[in-house]
Amino acid sequence: MRLVLILAFSLWAASDAGTGSSSAGPAAASATGKVLPTTQLKLPGPARIGMDYLAYDPQADQVWVPASNTGTTVVIDAATRKIHTVEGFLTVTKDNRTSGPTSVTLGEAFAYVGNRADSSICPVEKKTLKLGSCVKLDSTPDGVAYVATTQEVWVTAPRDNSLRIVEARGGHLAAKGKVPLEGEPEGYAVDPRRGIFFTNLRDKDVALAIDVRTHKVSASYPLNCGKAGPRGLSIDLDKQLLFVACTDHAATLALRSGGKLVSEAATGDGVDNPDYLPSRQLLYLASGKTAALQVLRVADDGGLTQIASAPTATGGRVVVVDRRGTAFVADSAGGQLVVVEPP
């Protein structure tokens, strides 16, 4: 019988938990750590601002925030917290809900923003923050990921069980193709060295590895996320560890061992997109239902150990991390980011 020891903790106090592993199951995660200080960074616009996929640009040291209902993308200097805005994105209001840009990915000189209002992908020059000409897709974009290997943007389209591929040579975009899948893609990670795109199928509880040149699924990894399915992904390229955010826990897959599940750690309910800081081997996950951020240390073998937590905001389920280890958690209801100091 496989032994899986799940980390148990609360926001304000961490109790000691057993650790261990077996040859047949994932290693346990242990509970230690402290509560990190936070501040709030209000974004320009109304009291409530819809946010989903955020991104961090290490070259410019900037956090990019598509602010859906405002029709803008906010760009924040991570060191000074100075705010800039990119305007001109279409919004659509239906049933008293306004939708617009919701996802962003960073290329070499351009950012690429996905807009659910008109199913478009739009380039933004990073240096000037100038919005370029958009390309419309035939399916609503969810997540977007720049693939440097092929100079493309890969788009998850869960509404029709597929990925869309957009040629992205600088600011020129062109719809290029479609990768049909046998489920709903949710979350992504890219390995540009090996030319692999990873995504989860949230309704199948599996992760997929897809060759970016042939568009063929090269591997399928069963997960342990349960009925709610998996959400976001992150990756350690050097150690070849794939981190999966389930709705209530994190998991590590060892890609060099065929995607073996090697560790799990509880997070609290309502997790969506995680982020990983490879320089410090730290994995960050925000729980929207418990209003808390969890910071996990990742061992060389993929083992997960909680080292810190922080109070955030109800509904805050998306986090992005800068090179210092500062975390930015989306608080849509408050129209702000909760900024968590590094552990």
pLDDT confidence of residue 29: 43
Which residue from 45, 79, 233 is spatially nearest to 145, judged by alpha carbons?
A: 233
For residues 22-33, average pLDDT: 46
Phi, psi angle pair for 114, to nearest 5°: -90, 135
Closest residue by Cα to residue 113 from 85, 94, 93: 85
Q: What is the DSSP string of 107-119?
A: -SSEEEEEETTTT
Q: Average pLDDT for residues 315-336, to the nearest whole number?
A: 98
Q: What is the mean pLDDT of residues 25-40?
A: 71
Main-chain dihedrals φ then ψ at residue 160, nearest 5 degrees: -130, 30
Distance between CA 148 and CA 169 in Å, rounded? 10
Q: Write down the residue that tokens 């209001």 correspond to.
A: 93
Residue 278 has pLDDT above 80, yes or no: yes
- Per-residue pLDDT band for 33 (boundaries 50, 70, 90) equals confident
Whole-angstrom Cα distance, residue 276 to residue 320?
Answer: 8
Over residues 134-145, mean pLDDT: 97
Residue 28 has a pLDDT of 41
Contact 298, 236 (CB under 8 A): yes
Residues 6+ apart with CB under 8 A from 311: 11, 35, 38, 291, 292
CATH number for the domain formed by residue range(s) 50-279: 2.130.10.10
User: Are the C-beta atoms of 209 and 218 separated by less than 8 Å?
Assistant: yes
Q: State how far the Cα of 203 lies from the Cα of 338, in Å rounded to an integer.
A: 30
pLDDT over 90 (residue 175):
yes
Q: Is pLDDT at 199 greater than 70 in this prediction?
A: yes
Q: What's the confidence (pLDDT) of residue 14?
A: 36
Q: Is the pLDDT reported for residue 279 higher than 80?
A: yes
d(CA 194, CA 192): 6
Strands of 185-191's sheet in order across: 185-191, 196-201, 206-211, 217-222
* Cα–Cα distance measured from residue 224 to residue 51, given in angstroms and rounded to the nearest whole number: 27
- Domains of the chain: which residue ranges? 50-279
For the chain, what percent of residues have pLDDT higher than 90? 90
Which residue has 């060099």 as its token pair?
256
Distance CA 6, CA 17 (A): 9
pLDDT at 59 over 50: yes
Tens digits of per-residue pLDDT, 92-105? 999 989 999 999 99
pLDDT band at 249 (very low <50, low <70, confident <90, very high): very high
pLDDT computed for residue 26 by the predictor: 56
Q: What is the pLDDT of residue 46?
A: 97
Residue 174 has which token pair? 């062109």
Give the separation between CA 120 and CA 141, rounded to whole angstroms. Answer: 7
Cβ(337)–Cβ(310) under 8 Å? no
Mean pLDDT of the chain: 92
